[in-house]
Chains A and B, each alone.
Chain A
């Protein structure tokens, strides 16, 4: 977060506060994303998506997460990113725990990255290598 935005100011002004436009890098980033998103999507769709995300509960209809996972027959890869504040590693570890309880073959890593929640969108050689490795292990086991 700090590396990406910090307290970098895009102007060199300091109060008195007469205008409330963009002053910090992070505000500029959010403004830019907002502007580019409304060109591509209906802004209302975001209201629905936000609501849907808030309402989503993986344990819905089950007593707990491990019960919800009991029918998984796949090998799982769970990843969190060290700088992701939206989905911190503790939540991924809850998933890992529920998978372990079910005896599901699970791979987990808290991937070192400075790009926060967007880390998974970044074209990263290490990330590619990790996925290639995991996917190749699936090929190997299905070939048996």
Chain B
């Protein structure tokens, strides 16, 4: 399962954040309240943006695939890409853009090498459907599914520094890093710069 708690742990009080795919503003609201962050969200969905603005949150209706380049370099302490890079058109390019405009970037994603997914494909021979990946193959927004190993490989290739990594799986439990996260973690969190 996804745990916002891990993201909260990484964020210093009163920092400036940008939340990609901010939806109705849940993360902005929680971090604004508990960590006194200032910041914006960006989301493409008019109805969700409406909900967020109605709650007094600063959100820009826009496309994360194309609209990140207008911000000055290092204008945020953290750029938060929570459960979203798998739906980006070009995750590598957008990730680099995030690292340009933010000092640090928090990336979280569902691990496609999670044991349940491995077993699902192995025994059922079909694209897996789980709580975190509830779509059919033909209507899923998750166009770039990948694993923890894949992500680390990208970081090495692009010379991205991993500051911290944490994992969760089996309900809401956090999984220690030595416990083969690429098999047992359902969801991964990376703090990079």
Q: A interface vs B, CB < 8 Å? A: 75, 77, 93, 96-97, 100-101, 103, 105-112, 126, 129-130, 132-134, 136-137, 140
Write the nearest CB–CB distance from A83 to chain B, whole angstroms. Answer: 13
Interface string of B15-57 (1 = CB under 8 A from A): 0000000000000000000000010100000110110011111
Is B46 within 8 A of A133, CB to CB? Answer: no
CB neighbours of B6 from chain A (8 A): none
Known contacts A96-B60, A100-B71, A137-B56; decide if A106 and B50 are in contact (CB<8 Å).
Answer: no
CA distance A137 to B47 in the complex (A): 19
Known contacts A107-B59, A108-B60, A112-B46; decide if A101 and B72 are in contact (CB<8 Å).
Answer: yes
Is B53 within 8 A of A101, CB to CB? Answer: no
Q: Which residue of A lies closest to B62 (CB)?
A: A108
The count of residues in chain B whose C-beta lies closer than 8 Å to any C-beta of chain A is 20
**Consensus secondary structure, chain B interface:** mixed
Q: Which residue of A lies closest to B55 (CB)?
A: A133
| Interface status of B61 (Cβ within 8 A of chain A) | yes
Write the nearest CB–CB distance from A122 to chain B, whole angstroms. Answer: 16
Return 18 A-B CB contacts under 8 Å, by A number.
A75-B58, A77-B53, A96-B62, A97-B70, A100-B71, A103-B75, A106-B40, A108-B61, A109-B49, A109-B50, A109-B53, A109-B59, A109-B61, A111-B46, A129-B50, A129-B54, A130-B54, A137-B58
CB neighbours of A137 from chain B (8 A): 56-58
Q: Which residue of A lies closest to B71 (CB)?
A: A100
Is B40 within 8 A of A134, CB to CB? Answer: no
CB neighbours of A126 from chain B (8 A): 50
CB neighbours of A100 from chain B (8 A): 60, 70-71
Is A136 within 8 A of B56, CB to CB? Answer: yes
CA distance A97 to B67 in the complex (A): 9
Write the nearest CB–CB distance from A25 to chain B, whole angstroms. Answer: 28
Is B72 within 8 A of A106, CB to CB? Answer: no
CB neighbours of A136 from chain B (8 A): 56
CB neighbours of B59 from chain A (8 A): 107-109
Is B49 within 8 A of A101, CB to CB? Answer: no
CB neighbours of A132 from chain B (8 A): 54
